[in-house]
Amino acid sequence: MTVTATQDLEPPSAILRALASDPRTELRVTDILAHLGDRALAGAMLVFALPILAPLPPGSNFVLGIPLLAITGQLMLGRSTLWLPEVIGRKQVRLETFRSFLRKAADRVERFERYMKPRHRMLCTPRADRIVGAACFVLALLLFLPLPFASLVPALALSLFALGLVKRDGVLIAAGWLIVILVLVTTQLVTMALAEHGPGLVSDIFGE
């Protein structure tokens, strides 16, 4: 199925609330996209990124991260519709795992929506959207790192970008970029520290 990238959306909270109200305990990825109808590629990104901020059972990042790679990759390419291979569309997501979180998230997003509005349009142009898509694709890759809590910061940035794209709100998109910059700076500092002190630590540990 396809999801368009530029259709007017219901509020993001309505998307989350509709998904949380689905009576089924498990949904395929295509079932989740069916809740979006013709809403937006950014709405699909929000639906798959936001639950990663909740405590997840093992393997959930993989199930949610695979669709995010497809979504963000196509956003990066400037596609107006989302297409998913059947092997991804058939993947099952246990809705019961996320239902309570989605309801709470919908309430919080709804309170936040009063401050969301189209602004700073230079951050919301088609070219800017493709650059955001490239950053989001890299963030989606980081979700697969086998490190405790490593997915929280990328998921937060993905959620901010998604909300910004949905509402064409340049402030939220700028907030997403701020997190990306912090991730890059932190990664660089850690890499430099390991390069400088790593050999000494190895010698101390193994007595060499």
Domain-by-domain residue ranges, the chain? 2-174
What are the tens digits of pLDDT across the range 169-203?
999 999 999 999 988 888 788 778 777 765 655 45
What are the tens digits of pLDDT across the range 141-150?
988 887 767 7
What are the tens digits of pLDDT across the range 14-36?
888 888 888 888 778 877 777 67
Confidence band of 2 (pLDDT split at 50, 70, 90):
very low
**In terms of C-beta density within 10 A (0-12 exposed, 13-18 middle, 19 or more buried), how is residue 4 classed?**
middle
The pLDDT of residue 9: 56
CA distances, 71 to each of 89, 103, 106, 171 (Å): 12, 23, 21, 22
The pLDDT of residue 101: 83
Question: Is 70 exceeded by the pLDDT of residue 1?
Answer: no
Q: Which of 73-77, 104-108, 130-134 shows the lowest mean pLDDT across its residues?
A: 104-108
DSSP string over 111-130: HHHTT---B-GGGSSHHHHH
**pTM for this entry:** 0.81
